[in-house]
């Protein structure tokens, strides 16, 4: 009644819950959060990309179910009775199949999906103008300006591109180590460091793992961190590889900044496994600032799965925030 006293509620207002999923070339991550940004659970599954391959849709379903189930168990959720205000999906390979799979797994009012480059950008920027350069198993750069215009560079895959990525870096290092062993190249600690890091005796055992099909690109890419370690320790061959990787990543970032008109005072965030190394971050910063001195470069504050959460929040008009 107008002018009357507010009605007292005996029950608290219902809490809204959100599910976020990041599906990439190496693994699938899921988190559950409430409307305050508090993360309640986390889950992990295998890779969920390349859905055009035989059996890949079922593999995607299985690993997403695994990640969501583990996430729900940690949060203490019964997926049969608890629903979500929105689900945010960030995927390496965007496919309309995936939202349909998720809708069969959980009760959700809204399911929104973007490529993982977009959700990684969203995790870093919270939607503000700027660019992200990603160096995980693959590599890509994406920028969005104040007008909402986007530009992308890279993301062409390991055959046609992915320069500066974890896979590219490790492959270059393996090739350099083989040249050194043959006497065709400069000596390098990579000859012994890479096999040792993989728990193998020598380069020939790595060769056997790769060409027997026991290793795939993800296994090779995991060696990139060891190339960074060798560079930090002063190995000239490893440092040269990291310099080239940084130059390629910087070039991609510069390209998208220029395309979106943010090359004078834009901001760049680095994300992905290679940017766990301060060496890589510093080298990329150095190469970008040499060409675009007004641009700032820093590491992304959040992993891509948080960008998927922000995507879900944005779908229902909620603030983009996260807390532990």
Low-confidence ranges of the chain (pLDDT < 70): 1-15, 25, 47-56, 93-94, 324
Do 128 and 262 contact (CB within 8 A), yes or no?
A: no
Which superfamily does 17-127+304-315 belong to? Answer: ATPase, nucleotide binding domain (3.30.420.40)
What are the angstrom distances between the C-alpha of 251 and each of 50, 64, 133? 27, 34, 10
What is the structure's pLDDT at 5?
44
Picking from 23, 212, 52, the residue whose alpha carbon sits closest to that of residue 136 is 23
d(CA 256, CA 281): 18
User: Among the CATH numbers 3.30.1490.190, 3.40.190.10, 3.40.1440.10, 3.30.420.40, which is that of 131-299?
Assistant: 3.30.420.40
Q: Where are the domains of the chain?
A: 17-127+304-315, 131-299
**What does the pLDDT read at residue 4?**
41
Pairwise CA distance, residues 107 & 84, whole Å: 6
Cross-strand pairs, 31: 20, 42
Q: Residue 250: what pLDDT? A: 98
């Amino acid at each position: 009644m107008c002018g009357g006293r507010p009605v007292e509620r005996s029950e608290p207002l219902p809490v809204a819950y959100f599910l976020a999923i990041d599906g990439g070339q190496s693994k699938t991550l899921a988190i559950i959060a409430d409307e305050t940004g508090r993360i309640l659970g986390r889950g992990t599954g295998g890779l969920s990309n390349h859905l055009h391959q035989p059996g890949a849709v079922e593999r995607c379903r299985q690993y997403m179910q695994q990640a969501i189930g583990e996430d729900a168990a940690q949060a203490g959720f019964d997926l049969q009775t608890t629903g979500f205000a929105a689900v945010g999906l960030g995927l390496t390979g965007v496919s309309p199949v995936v939202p349909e799979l998720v809708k069969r797994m959980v009760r959700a009012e809204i399911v929104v999906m973007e490529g993982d480059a977009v959700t990684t950008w969203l995790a870093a920027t919270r939607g503000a103008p700027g660019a992200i350069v990603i160096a995980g198993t693959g590599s890509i750069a994406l920028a969005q300006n104040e007008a909402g215009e986007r530009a992308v560079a890279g993301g062409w895959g390991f055959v046609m591109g992915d320069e500066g990525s974890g896979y590219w870096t490790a492959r270059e290092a393996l090739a350099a180590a083989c040249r050194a062993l043959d006497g065709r190249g400069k000596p390098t600690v990579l000859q012994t460091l890479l096999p040792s890091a993989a728990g193998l005796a020598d380069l020939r055992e790595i060769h056997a793992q790769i060409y027997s099909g026991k290793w795939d690109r993800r296994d090779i890419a995991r060696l990139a961190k060891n190339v960074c370690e060798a560079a930090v320790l002063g190995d000239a061959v490893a440092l040269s590889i990291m310099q080239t990787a940084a130059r390629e990543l910087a070039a991609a970032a510069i390209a998208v900044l220029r395309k979106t008109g943010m090359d004078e005072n834009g901001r760049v965030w680095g994300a992905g496994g290679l940017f766990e190394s301060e060496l890589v971050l510093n080298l990329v910063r150095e190469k970008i600032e040499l060409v675009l001195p007004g641009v700032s470069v820093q590491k992304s504050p959040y992993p891509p799965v948080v960008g998927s959460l922000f995507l879900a929040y944005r779908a229902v008009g909620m603030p983009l925030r996260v807390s532990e």
